[in-house]
Structure 1
Amino acid sequence: MTGLRGLGGSVFIVAAGADRSEEFLNSPALAPRRNWFGLILTGLAVGLASGLFGVGGGIIIVPILVYLFHFDQRLASGTSLLAIVAPSIVGVVSYSLSGNVSVILALLLAVGSVLGAPIGAWLLARLAKRTLQWAFIVFLVVVIVSLFLVIPSRDTAVDVDFWHGLALVAIGLFAGISSGLLGIGGGVIVVPAMVLLLGTSDLIAKGSSLLMIIATGLSGTIANTRRRNVDLRASLAIGLGAAVVTPFGVWLAGALSPQAANITFAGFLVLVMIRMAVDAWPRRKSK
């Protein structure tokens, strides 16, 4: 016999019996009390970053949910994946209005990403996460330096031949593996890789990256929902707040010169690097 029990603003179907009740009470989907104002502010920051840099914003959402709002790590990751869908959709529409979205590029990136994510998850159980984090920090340093040396041309069109297609799948694969290993990827990897390795316009790279992120966010959300690792209301608060600001970020990306856009993106990557260094830095065990 089953009944409905409300808890923390969510409704769960709970089977009779102490063992079953305890299982639901310990579920990672039980979120702490939501700070609506903080969630909306988070969304505004994510929307600006999403439009300006072509990233989903999970690198911003997850640490805020975990460290400021005390979400479980799995719940924060699942909530973030759903939250990035709305600003990504708005970003794709905004970039497409100026012709800066390539469906072909996005599809090839998505193929690699879908293949890479489970590989990263498999490796996660077998490799030291802290070592991987420091390796990724070194990768970010190389990217940041390169962004000051290579200035993209916005008049350049990428002809997708066999080798370009293979390179795009490989970039997506790397992004997917990084996502599975570290919970990071998407635009943080895809955008600079397309600009630096393929000579793609930074605007097309950002618009196509956001199109890829829509597929990533939706596919990941399906799996996380089944495991109750999504706070739907928190996702909506962040996602809707982000969607409002994303068009301004897209406009700002187009208003900046390619050199200024590179410098701004490099600054964003520095923040990402600092965040990862804080996570990777060894902590003393409390006595």
Structure 2
Amino acid sequence: MSWLALFFLGTFTGLLAGIFGLGGGFLLVPLLSALGIPVAEAAGTSLIAVWFSAIAGSSLNWLKDKFDGGKSFQIAFLGIPAAQLGVVVSNLFPDRLLKLIFAVLLLGMIYLMNLRQQLSEQETDIKLAPSPPTPGATGRKFYWWRYASIGAVSGFMSGLFGIGGGLIMVPLQLGFLAETLESAVANSLGAMVAIAASGLIGHAWRSEVLWIPGLCLGAGSIFGAPLGSYILPRLPNGLVTTAFRLLLLILSIYMVRASWASGWV
């Protein structure tokens, strides 16, 4: 594909990612796989766009005074080495098995999306109630390790599959750390700047990054993601969630089919 075509592809994936409130890795990996690129190499290339998106989003949060560096660091603390572990694991399995696991992950994302929606609705109910409870200071060390554990899970998935991990980190923060949705999204973006960089370095060390295509995709995602975020409030919430579930299902079916075609039978 030409550089311009890759730029527009990055813009399109960034647009969808902005509408659905996620990084573009869950879209880029199947698309790159469809072009004949192995999953490990697609993951490394995808992380360029994920890193660009995380930097852009965190910069906006910082300008809006919504960036919490302490919590982002706690998430990234174990997420950074976990991303390296994910890179190593991605080289231990055949490509057809990675495609199948990625398909299962996409189906799991549908569940996590439903969980995120339920927790967001509970958060709204709590805000309407008088004197909402807040986490106390007595469990500071305990909560620190909760943040770190969430980062470890997300970092591993990021290094393994080149995804941003927001759909993993956000629901876990809402459910286990009593974070607000806005804070959880900001924490995830901040952590992903370091986690995506770690995974990218790991894949680059193994020569599993297509730099020029990745930079074109990343540049396009920077333009597409804000446009998607602008369009999102103007779309019916039911339409967005239904379209997202359908998209994940289609991508999952495609990855199963690609795995099957790679030699399972």
TM-score range, shorter chain: 0.7 to 0.9
Residue of structure 1 equivalent to 2:252: 276
Contact 1:96 1:207 in 2 (8 A): no
Contact 1:39 1:238 in 2 (8 A): yes
Change (3 A) 1:240 1:147: same
> Residue 226 of structure 2 is aligned with which of 231, 247, 253?
247
**1:78 pairs with 2:35:** no
> Residue 56 of structure 2 is aligned with which of 77, 90, 101?
90
Contact 1:55 1:209 in 2 (8 A): no
SS for the counterpart of 2:260 is coil
Within 2, Cα distance between the matches of 1:111 and 1:97? 24
Shift of the alpha carbon at 1:242? Answer: 1.3
102-111 or 227-236, larger mean C-alpha shift: 227-236
Within 1, Cα distance between the matches of 2:190 and 2:159? 19
Within 1, Cα distance between the matches of 2:68 and 2:84? 25
**1:162 pairs with 2:141:** yes
Within 1, Cα distance between the matches of 2:250 and 2:3? 27
Within 1, Cα distance between the matches of 2:186 and 2:228? 12
> Residue 41 of structure 1 is aligned with which of 1, 5, 8?
8
Contact 2:159 2:199 in 1 (8 A): no
Shift of the alpha carbon at 1:162? Answer: 2.4
Within 2, Cα distance between the matches of 1:223 and 1:121? 6
Q: RMSD of the TM alignment (CA)?
A: 3.7
Deviations 1:15-64 (A, max 9, x none): xxxxxxxxxxxxxxxxxxx3334312221133334545553311111221
Contact 2:100 2:255 in 1 (8 A): no
Change (3 A) 1:130 1:239: closer
Within 2, Cα distance between the matches of 1:256 and 1:239? 25
SS for the counterpart of 1:243 is helix
Shift of the alpha carbon at 1:96? Answer: 2.9
Higher relative CO (CA 8 A, sep ≥ 6), structure 1 or 2? 2
Contact 2:33 2:39 in 1 (8 A): yes
Aligned residues: 250
Deviations 1:71-120 (A, max 9, x none): 34333222211222222211112233333332122111111312323444
> Residue 189 of structure 1 is aligned with which of 157, 160, 168?
168
Residue of structure 2 equivalent to 1:26: none
Residue of structure 2 equivalent to 1:56: 23
Residue of structure 2 equivalent to 1:29: none
SS for the counterpart of 2:168 is helix
**1:117 pairs with 2:83:** yes
Residue of structure 2 equivalent to 1:179: 158
Contact 2:164 2:192 in 1 (8 A): no
Contact 2:68 2:187 in 1 (8 A): yes
Contact 1:120 1:180 in 2 (8 A): yes
Residue of structure 1 equivalent to 2:32: 65
Identity across matched positions, percent? 23
* Matched AA of 1:116: A
Residue of structure 2 equivalent to 1:103: 69
* Matched AA of 2:44: G
Residue of structure 2 equivalent to 1:27: none
Shift of the alpha carbon at 1:233? Answer: 1.8
Shift of the alpha carbon at 1:209? Answer: 1.6
* Matched AA of 1:82: I
206-215 or 156-165, larger mean C-alpha shift: 156-165
Contact 2:53 2:218 in 1 (8 A): yes
**Larger gyration radius, structure 1 or structure 2:** 1
Shift of the alpha carbon at 1:189? Answer: 0.9
* Matched AA of 2:169: V
